[in-house]
Amino acid sequence: MSAIRFEHVFKSFHEQVVLRDFSMEVQPAETKVILGGSGSGKTTILKMVLGLVKPDSGRVFVEDQDITDLDEAELMPIRRKIGMVFQEGALFDSLTVGENVAYQMREDRTYREEQIEKVVRKLLGFVGLEDVIDKFTSELSGGMRRRVGIARALVGNPRILLYDSPTAGLDPITGHTICELVIRLRDLEGVSSIFVTHNLESAMTLASEFAEVQPDGHLAFKSEGGNLCLINTRFVMLKDGIVLFEGSDEALKEVDDEYIQEFLT
């Protein structure tokens, strides 16, 4: 089974070709890091996984189900399997942090208020923000907003997570905190994910660190000499609508391509 699969996807907006024969597979519990410049089609790819954007041709699969031609009603159960961390956060500034995370559960009208409260506290605890539950999101720093976005994406324990540039514009330490949340979900929860970024430092953190529960029950992040090539994290480099490279971080550094080497420096 694959978690997500694109088969020969083409997509244009008006005259502009964004994806040309794009194929990619995300294995269960794998993180696929998509690197590419601004406008290369990264957000478009994530929206296709949710069925928010349809390919002109080619197929998109989620857990081996072909979602390409599904309508809005048929997409509902698919979208429940997926958590999306939006590029711009997409938080409601007129709501508190807790209300933002609770939003979808309240809309569903199938949860009791005590249940919602419990889930919200647990998720905010996971991202280290239980203290700001009653603050308005407009009062938060950029890094905190991103963490609220992650907490909200985790509602319903999705098996698939889509992260749209979650470390863009953050200082390296805050960016690293976000990466560690992604690594925890990958290594301890077995979540499958796509991590879109043009932040190379984040990409390399994901490729070189792993999370492990210690015998004493504590969580530790490890990286072995920085040369570790994790098998559960692979890179895809997009350019001009095609996959310029796919493989490990080590292989990426070896590629004989001017654009890639420039991107890496």
- Given the rule CB under 5 A, which residues bind Mg ion? 43, 87
Among 1, 15, 38, 109, binds ligand ATP (CB under 6 A): 38
Binding partner of 41, given Mg ion, ligand ATP, none, CB within 5-8 angstroms per partner class: ligand ATP
- Rounded Cα distance between 61 and 28, Å, is 13
Which of 168, 133, 169 has its CA nearest to residue 148?
A: 133
- Rounded Cα distance between 70 and 73, Å, is 8
CB of 239 to ligand ATP, least distance (A): 11
Tell me whether residue 39 or residue 172 sits nearer to Mg ion (CB atom).
Answer: 39
- DSSP track, 224-240: STT----TTEEEEEEET
Task: Select from 2-10, 42-50, 63-71, 77-85 the region that touches ligand ATP (CB under 6 A).
Answer: 42-50
194 DSSP β-pair partners: 32, 162
Burial label for 68, CB within 10 Å (0-12, 13-18, 19+), is middle
- Rounded Cα distance between 195 and 197, Å, is 6
Alpha helices in the chain (DSSP H): 42-49, 72-80, 97-108, 113-126, 142-153, 172-189, 200-208, 249-254, 258-264
CB of 200 to ligand ATP, least distance (A): 13
Tell me whether residue 41 or residue 89 sits nearer to ligand ATP (CB atom).
Answer: 41
Residues 244 and 238: beta-carbon distance below 8 Å: yes
Binding partner of 18, given Mg ion, ligand ATP, none, CB within 5-8 angstroms per partner class: ligand ATP
Residues 255 and 245: beta-carbon distance below 8 Å: yes
Among 3, 4, 9, 18, binds ligand ATP (CB under 6 A): 18
- Rounded Cα distance between 176 and 195, Å, is 14
Determine if 40 is a binding residue for ligand ATP (CB under 6 A): yes
Determine if 146 is a binding residue for ligand ATP (CB under 6 A): no
Give the pairing type, strands 192-197 and 160-164: parallel
CB of 90 to ligand ATP, least distance (A): 14
Binding partner of 172, given ligand ATP, Mg ion, none, CB within 5-8 angstroms per partner class: none
Determine if 13 is a binding residue for ligand ATP (CB under 6 A): yes
Residues 86-115 that bind ligand ATP (CB under 6 A): 87
Determine if 167 is a binding residue for ligand ATP (CB under 6 A): no
Binding partner of 135, given ligand ATP, Mg ion, none, CB within 5-8 angstroms per partner class: none
Determine if 199 is a binding residue for ligand ATP (CB under 6 A): no
Interface residue list for ligand ATP (CB under 6 A): 13, 16, 18, 36, 38-44, 87, 198
